[in-house]
Amino acid sequence: MATWSAPGKIFLFGEHAVVYGKPGLAMAIKPRVHVTVRRHRNPAPAKSPYIDQCFRELGVRGSVYVSSQMPSSAGLGSSAAVTVATLSAANDEFGLGLEREEIAAIAHRIEQTVQKGRASATDTYVSTMGGLVLIIGDSRRRVLPVNLNLVIGNTQMSHSTSRMVELVAEERERRPNVISPILDAIGALTLEGLRKLDEPRELGRLMNVNHALLDAIGVGHSSLTRLVGAARAAGAFGAKTTGAGGGGCMIALSPRGGKTRITSALDAAGGRAFVTTIDTAGVRKEHDA
């Protein structure tokens, strides 16, 4: 039996713009998803199509136990974390000898198969490698990690990432002269944010601008507006939508000692909030019983 865990992810900057090759900055976050895989000749069918696909890809059979405190379908990369942890646990249990890079690539392929085409290579890469990841075009690389005080607010409004990506594409086709420069500006914010990672006030301001630009390209939602406003009023340095928008989650950058106040404000505004920070480890082995 082998147990592995993998983190979720947020976009600090650059969601949607990355789809057009612009820079984006993503971060692996706690909580982790834990997956235990045990050899089994006739396992019961898994409850998740991602897990089924992991076994199909690897050509092995096993039973799986998943333990997760990460909200699913909220844009925090929970399906990527389940996939990466399952692949890694199966890799260990069956002695397949796959390296991390291979795990990330197979996990992306699995997400593409299950999601029927569109899947973020960022989610699976960040969950595998951990830390802070700069995305530019097809390249993804880890940059020096920083410890940020973050609060996540889940609007609990379900959203479809592929639908939101489609919406932006339609909007860009309709108004290329307006939308393309906004996507450029979001990419520029990523690079500016990268330089200001140790200046929380500045970083917060840039997050606020990124949020406004996400609204401008059409991925806003009243629930996100409400939570972002509540976080700022409660003292956040900045707050923004994270991920595809249209519901899902927002993030707030908190002063040290301000997280409880922001969490309460987000809960009172109808969200479900939790404190998080960077996870630098990526996928890792847990105990073997």
Residues catalogued as catalytic: 123
Contact 166, 172 (CB under 8 A): no
Q: Which of 193, 243, 247, 271 binds ligand MEV (CB under 6 A)?
A: 243
Range in contact with ligand MEV (rule: CB under 6 A) among 12-20, 49-57, 193-201, 257-265:
12-20
Q: Is 161 in the site for ligand MEV (CB under 6 A)?
A: yes
State which residue has the least CB distance to ligand MEV: 120
Q: Is 136 in the site for ligand MEV (CB under 6 A)?
A: no
Site for ligand MEV contains 244 (CB under 6 A): yes
Distance CA 26, CA 131 (A): 8
Looking at the Cβ atoms of 19 and 98, the one nearer to ligand MEV is 19
How many CA atoms does the CB half-sphere of 20 hold within 13 Å? Answer: 20
Say if residues 218 and 168 touch (Cβ distance below 8 Å). yes
- Cβ of residue 255: shortest distance to ligand MEV, in angstroms? 26
List of residues 6+ apart from 112 with CB closer than 8 A: 118, 119
Gap between the Cα atoms of 262 and 239, Å rounded: 11
Q: Which of 66, 96, 136, 165 binds ligand MEV (CB under 6 A)?
A: 165
User: x/- binding map, residues 64-83, to ligand MEV, per CB under 6 A?
Assistant: -----------x--------
Beta strands in the chain (DSSP E): 2-13, 24-39, 62-68, 132-136, 139-143, 150-154, 238-242, 249-253, 272-276, 284-285
Q: Applying CB under 6 A, which of residues 4, 15, 110, 167 lies at the interface with ligand MEV?
A: 15
Task: Answer for the pair 278, 132: CB distance below 8 angstroms, yes or no.
Answer: yes
The CB-of-142 to ligand MEV minimum distance in angstroms stands at 17
One residue of 120, 190, 223, 263 binding ligand MEV per CB under 6 A: 120
Q: Please tell me the distance from the alpha carbon of residue 121 to that of residue 138, in angstroms, as a whole number.
A: 9
Binding interface with ligand MEV (CB under 6 A): 11, 15-16, 18-19, 75, 120, 122, 161, 165, 243-244
